[in-house]
Structures are given as C-alpha cells and as structure tokens.
Structure 1
Amino acid sequence: MSSSSRLAPEMIIEDFLILTDNGLYCRIGNFYLDPKHAVEHAVISHAHGDHAVRGNVNVYCTAASAAIIQHRYHKQAGKNFLIYSWSDIFDLNGVKISFIPAGHILGSAQILLEYLGIRYLYTGDYKLQEDPTCERIEFVKADVLITETTFADPSVKHPDAVDEIIKLNAFNHNVLLGAYSLGKAQRLSRLISDHCPQRSTLVHHSIFSLNKLYESFGFSPGKYELYNRKQMKQPDQNLVYIIPPLTFNSYIRAKNVVRAFASGWMKLQMNNDLQLLISDHVDWDDIITMLKEVEPRQVWTLHGNGTYLKEHFKGKLLVKLLNNAD
C-alpha cells in the first residue's frame, strides 16, 4: 500500500482501542485483545498465560494457540474456539480481523484490525530474531501500530542467540538451565541441538509435553530426552537440563552444575554462574525496524515503557502510551 493511497491521520479513531480493567477493548467490535480476565469475546495473539487467560466464552486464535491453551487449561480453556489460518479474514461487528505471524512462539500472531478503511495492527509479543521453532514474523502496512515496549530502551540491545548459546561449548559441566516452558524452552533445545552438538538436552516433564505439541505442528525443538535424575547426578557429562522458573528456583542448592537462566532481563542473570541473554521480544533496534516496515501514522504502546519512543519521535510521529494517562 503506497503512502498516497493511505487515508489521512485525522480519520483514525483515537479511542478505537481502550485499556480497561479487563484489558484492551475494541468498543466498536465489542471484543478484547488478550484480555486479563475472562470475557465473552477474546481475540488472542498467543498462548502465554499473560495473554491467554482461562475461561473465555469465545476464543478467536490460530490453531497452534488453541492447541496450547487447551493443553494447559483443559476443561477451563474456554467454551468455544474459533480457529483461523494466516490467510483468513473474519468479522466481529463490522471490524475485519486477520492474524499475521509474529515470530514470538509457535502460533503467535499480530492482530490486524480493519475498520472504515483504517488498519490498526496489534503486535502482541513479537521478535525479529531467527527462530526455527516458530513461524517467522511477517510485515504488513498499517495506519496505527499498537506495539509492545517491553525492551523499548535505546540502551537495550539483545545479543545474537547463537553467540549466547555457544557459551555452553566452553566447558563440559552439566548445566541447570532455567527457561519459560512455552516458547523459550523449545527455542533453547533447538539452539543446543544445532550449535552444541556434544551436549545432550534433558527437559522437565512440563516442557516435554509442549515439545511434542510443537512437533505435531511441524516445528522441531531438536534432540532432547525426558529428564533422568540418575543421569543428571553424574558430573561433567555435557548435559543440559532445561527447567521452568519455579523448579529452577527450588533447585538453588543443586551441586556440581552450572546455573543459568535464559532471558533478556538482566535481573534474571543475577546470582547465576553463566549469563545467557536470550530474549523472545524485540529490542530498541527491532522496534525501529518494525516502524520502518509498517509505516504507521501513529504508534500506541503497551506492555512496558513507551516514553523513550515518544521522546525519540517527538515532532515527527505521534506516539501514544495506552498504559499511561497521556
């Protein structure tokens, strides 16, 4: 879509999306994007628990997101799942909706909303780094970009994930590796399989079942085995045991292992033996790249601090902080 064919910025409905106690609400379409509490109509970007709560009546999402939500919540997952592929467009009270790959985790989607010729693109969580365990992000043009700003700080630069994971090649001690069970664990397992061939990956039972789900959608987490306590007790075997955060914290006294937690947050690197800065979110440079690709007339920010973006584009581009009173 060329700039000349875009509608004027004054046509943008400034309260098309509003932040409520239940989350981000589209009053015209009468639905929520990634609601914080169960609602009647929930359009879900991806299956992480802070974006996909249990108990919604009607859940609109991708097939992979539906499978993960149902796997995690069982009978409380939601009453009705309405599943759409990447090429589908559906309508809620006059608002046209479609899902665009977000590159965050398996099935993660940007949500494109079209109303009266204006395109509003909600990113959900997204990343630009390569990740063979999920769909690669796709770029589309939009008049309004509603972006997460988890790491929207010019001082934040995520290192290359391969450069981080090959740190495990410098020694043969067993590694106790903390990671979120969904998305991060599968990415780590694949990174280790591809770039640390001498190492064997063991996974926690909660991660094992998600790995199998990933495989059912054609995305391989690489080579891995279910955790074996006897194996892990043998020192210097080039083993990596990937475990969820609660288990990682409970193993604070584990002996004969190198402790590491894979995250973009520096605070989660504290008191560990090895720093692994691997993030599944965009950093500052990635957000700037996203803006160049989307070419929005306005930017609305969520999930973090949009102050740096607002200052950076002052006088050039309207940046509105939805999670603050502007």
Structure 2
Amino acid sequence: MILDDFISITPTGLYCAYGDFYLDPQQPVTEAVISHAHGDHAIGGSQNVYCTAATESFMKHRYRKFAAVDFHIKPYHETFKIKDVAITFYSAGHILGSAQVLMEYQGVKYLYTGDYKIEPDATCEPFEFIQADVLITESTFANPGTKHPSAIDEIKKLNETNANIMLGAYALGKSQRIIQLLNTHCPTKNIMVHHSIMPFVKIYEDYGLKIGGYKMYDRKVMKSNLENQVYIVPPMVFHSYHKAINVVRVFASGWKNLQQQNGISLYISDHADWDAILETIQKVQPKQLWTLHGDGKHLKEYFEGKLEVKILNSKMND
C-alpha cells in the first residue's frame, strides 16, 4: 500500500519519517540523502551524508571542513538501508554524480528524481529509467509550452559571430558541459574560464571526464584578441559586468528571462522539459505521480482520470 505520508514537506526539507532521514535538506540534519551537489540541494553541516563519490568531492570543495561530519559514499545500484528503508542510487543525468533515489519500504517503491535530464550529455552519467510505484519528479519545466532545443544546435549559434563572447553559466555542471560542447562544435573558439569555476573543472577531470581544451582567464589575451575568445563566468560575475564592452553577452539557461538583453540566446538546460517528463513517466510506469520544484498543475490536468497526481509544493529552482 502506498503511504501518502512517506515523504512530507517540512521547513527543513523533504522528510521521510519511516527512515528518519531528509532528501536534499535545506538545513543541517542528522541523516541527509543528497541527490546532487548544487547549492539548493546540498548544504554543509549535516551529521551523516549519503551520496555518490563525485557529490562528496564537490561538497568538500564548496564547504571545506563544514561539508559533513561523516560521508557515506554509495555507488549507483548498491542498496543500503537507513532504518527500515532500503535505498538505491541511479544516475539522474543532471550533472556529474547526480542521483535518483529509489526508496523501498513495505514492498512499495518510491523514486525521487532530484533534478534530471534524459538527453545525452558527455559530461555526466546518462539518465536511467527505473520502474517504481510512486514517481516523485521535479517539475521545473513541466509546461506543455516548454520544449528545450538541441544543445548542439544551440552551441553552434556561437559560430555565427567572430566577436568575443562573455558566457554566463553555473559553475558546477553547466560550465563543464559548455566547455565540452564548445570544444566539439565550435573549434575556432578559444575557451577561457573564470578562476572560481576551475576547481570544479579539475574535479570533473579527476573523475575521468574529457571536456577538451581551456585556459584560465587572461585579461591581456581578451584585450589583445578581439575575436573568437569565449570567457565563461559564473552568474554573479556575468550580472555584475552587465555593461562589459567589446563582448557579446550570452547566458546558458533554459529560462527565457535569462536570455533577455543578451546578444545571442543560448537555451541549454540541464532539466527535463515537458516531453522528457512525459517520457519518464511512461517508462517508470508509476501508480502515483508526486511533483516537486515547480508547478505540477499542468501534469495534474494532463493525467486527470488516468493517473493520480499529487503536488507536494510549488518551490521554484534554477
């Protein structure tokens, strides 16, 4: 029997009372199961953190000695228990080390996707389709009007200009994907990376990811070469240099509002769009669908009379 209260929303985050643990808590807790290392899912300071090896590496870089008291590293497909709940990680395709969390209790399977995408990405493990009784899916872009274009087609748009480009991208995950795409599809571009992104790039390489060539940002290079330089910066830098001259401004995101006032739109998202969410639901074959991180009303309307849909919250994320 599916338990309606298996996962509950609390001020601290998603809580599983039957295992007495939190999924991606927003405050330090005793038992934290972490899907991936983005800051809105992985904070520092918890007692016991269960995650993949790559997630541990990213968290230790970001939070140093405050990352966790103890890490419990779990590879994909290895089942472990927290109290009476059996947990198994499966790749989520969001960033390196991202995991879906399959929880089994009293013969019922609950699958928490965390953030995910199902399209190919050479910089992280591919999404795995796992069948479950309850699918707890992110719904960041769960809107029938949202369809992400091909990331390859989007990155190729940068070949249309010879001007230097300031490219905003999240430091973890998006930047490494952009570097790999540029190397593969924009061979004339010289890639330079902001210093705050470099440690994450090195961690990717430590895990055997080949993202191609790049250099640390050099102001002299950028100033003396007015063509074919791409400078990848984190969002804070991108927005603080909103009046930067002699560059075309580009921001890699699935959000339309982040494309405004930029020289070239670059719709590259690391989240599932409407069609990808529907495909995931079809392959997981859940008896119930629970939605998180976004607006689940479109899914509720779409599946009315066919599948029970429960909207757990309406929190937006990046």
TM bracket (short chain): over 0.9
2:260 aligns with: 270
1:130 aligns with: 120
Q: CA deviation at 1:208?
A: 1.2
Residue 308 (structure 2) aligned to one of 296, 299, 318: 318
- Asked if the contact 1:235–1:256 (Cα under 8 Å) also holds between the matched residues in 2, the reply is no
Q: CA deviation at 1:28?
A: 0.5
Q: What TM-score do the two structures reach when normalised by structure 1?
A: 0.95
- Alignment coverage as a number of residue pairs: 314
- Range 251-260 or range 105-114, more displaced: 251-260
1:202 aligns with: 192
- Per-residue CA deviations over 1:244-296 (Å, capped at 9, x if unaligned) read 00001111121110001000000000111110000000000000000011000
Residue 21 (structure 1) aligned to one of 4, 8, 11: 11
Residues 1:244 and 2:234 aligned together: yes
1:155 aligns with: 145
2:162 aligns with: 172
- Asked if the contact 1:164–1:276 (Cα under 8 Å) also holds between the matched residues in 2, the reply is yes
State the 4+ residue runs in structure 1 displaced beyond 6 angstroms: none
Residues 1:67 and 2:45 aligned together: no
Residues 1:309 and 2:304 aligned together: no
Residue 82 (structure 2) aligned to one of 77, 89, 92: 92
Q: What TM-score do the two structures reach when normalised by structure 2?
A: 0.98
Residues 1:182 and 2:149 aligned together: no
- Per-residue CA deviations over 1:103-157 (Å, capped at 9, x if unaligned) read 0000000000001110000000000111100001111100000000000000000
Residues 1:226 and 2:182 aligned together: no
2:67 aligns with: 77
Q: CA deviation at 1:234?
A: 2.7
Residues 1:105 and 2:95 aligned together: yes
Q: Which amino acid aligns with 1:241?
A: Y
1 CA distance for matches of 2:217 and 2:198? 9
- Asked if the contact 1:177–1:243 (Cα under 8 Å) also holds between the matched residues in 2, the reply is yes
Q: CA deviation at 1:314?
A: 0.3
2 CA distance for matches of 1:192 and 1:121? 34
Report SS of the residue matched to 2:41.
Answer: coil
2 CA distance for matches of 1:192 and 1:236? 18
1:8 aligns with: none
Residues 1:115 and 2:102 aligned together: no
Report SS of the residue matched to 1:311.
Answer: helix
Report SS of the residue matched to 2:184.
Answer: helix
- Per-residue CA deviations over 1:173-208 (Å, capped at 9, x if unaligned) read 110000000000000000000000011110011111
1 CA distance for matches of 2:216 and 2:309? 47
1 CA distance for matches of 2:107 and 2:258? 44
Q: Which amino acid aligns with 1:266?
A: K
For structure 2, list consecutive stretches of 5 or more residues without a partner in the other structure: none
Superposed CA RMSD: 0.8
For structure 1, list consecutive stretches of 5 or more residues without a partner in the other structure: 1-10
Residues 1:212 and 2:202 aligned together: yes
2 CA distance for matches of 1:287 and 1:163? 21
Percent same amino acid among aligned pairs? 56
1:142 aligns with: 132
Report SS of the residue matched to 1:205.
Answer: coil
Q: CA deviation at 1:235?
A: 4.5
- Asked if the contact 1:302–1:322 (Cα under 8 Å) also holds between the matched residues in 2, the reply is yes
